[in-house]
Amino acid sequence: MAFKTERLAATLGKISRQVVLDDSLGELRFIGAFDCGINGRQIVCSAVVVDAKTMEVVERQTITRDSQMPYIPGYTAFREGPLILELYYSLEHEPEVLMIDGEGIAHPDGGGLATYVGVELAKPTIGVAKELLAGVLNGSDILIDGKIVGKQVITKQFAKPIFVSPGNLISVERAASIVNECVRPPHKLPEPLHIAHRISSKAAELERNGEHVAERNIPIDVQESP
């Protein structure tokens, strides 16, 4: 396992060296979001595309695939990334930016799931993580080796913060700004990810109960918390 982990770390390091922190992303029409749920040895991946101004869902899709590798902390890029890429290519709407449930460049190897997806697609991506996997906090800034790689963002009173970092082709400041603009109380996560998370969680529950998951029509109340 150690050798395998070393190879994964080297691959992520190579991917991270291709990252561009760009601040030229223009006006947004659509935002995409991806979240993965686990059902035993299966991974349920859900995508939503929302209107950037209203947060109205314009498209949602879900796929279920057998996991091709075990869970290894810090390396979900290789476990979930291929499913996200597959699902992205099936979307009918083209989002200008993607939100990913996971780390961007605020990662021990310089790039997490959002970086993997962003580099592979040459697409602006934002990583939104529930825990700080790497770095230290200086106020709201996440620092690695003295460099700002992300932001701690408090979206809900009395709730734990989320940790936002660019995956590729977006700056730290713009990534945090977009996340803040997408927050809709009482939800802690930005709305596109909240919806994707509710769908993937419900789809995984249906799979556990032996029910067939319709790829475009998961019954879910997206207004539920958190």
- Burial class (CB within 10 angstroms; exposed 0-12, middle 13-18, buried 19+) of 137: middle
Tell me the pLDDT band of 203, cut-offs 50, 70 and 90. Answer: confident
Beta partners for 182?
none
User: Tokens 């949602």 label which residue?
Assistant: 60
The pLDDT > 90 percentage for the chain reads 75
Can you tell me whether residue 30 is helix, strand or coil?
A: strand
State the average pLDDT for the chain: 90
Instruction: Give the pTM.
Output: 0.92
Q: For residues 93 and 84, give the distance between their C-alpha atoms in angstroms, rounded to a whole number.
A: 15
Count CB neighbours of 189 within 10 A. 25
pLDDT greater than 50 at residue 2: no
Report which of residues 94 and 207 the model is more confident about.
94
Count CB neighbours of 177 within 10 A. 15
Are the beta carbons of 199 and 48 closer than 8 angstroms? yes
- Burial class (CB within 10 angstroms; exposed 0-12, middle 13-18, buried 19+) of 138: exposed
Counting every residue written for the chain, the total comes to 226
Are the beta carbons of 27 and 181 closer than 8 angstroms? no
Can you tell me whether residue 197 is helix, strand or coil?
A: helix
- Burial class (CB within 10 angstroms; exposed 0-12, middle 13-18, buried 19+) of 36: buried
* pLDDT computed for residue 201 by the predictor: 86
Average pLDDT of span 71-83: 93
**Amino acid letter, 177:** S
Average pLDDT of span 74-81: 94
User: Tokens 């190579």 label which residue?
Assistant: 14
> Which CATH class name applies to 2-208?
alpha beta
For the residues of 1-26, what is the DSSP string, one character each? -HHHHHHHHHHHHHHHTT--------
* pLDDT computed for residue 1 by the predictor: 44
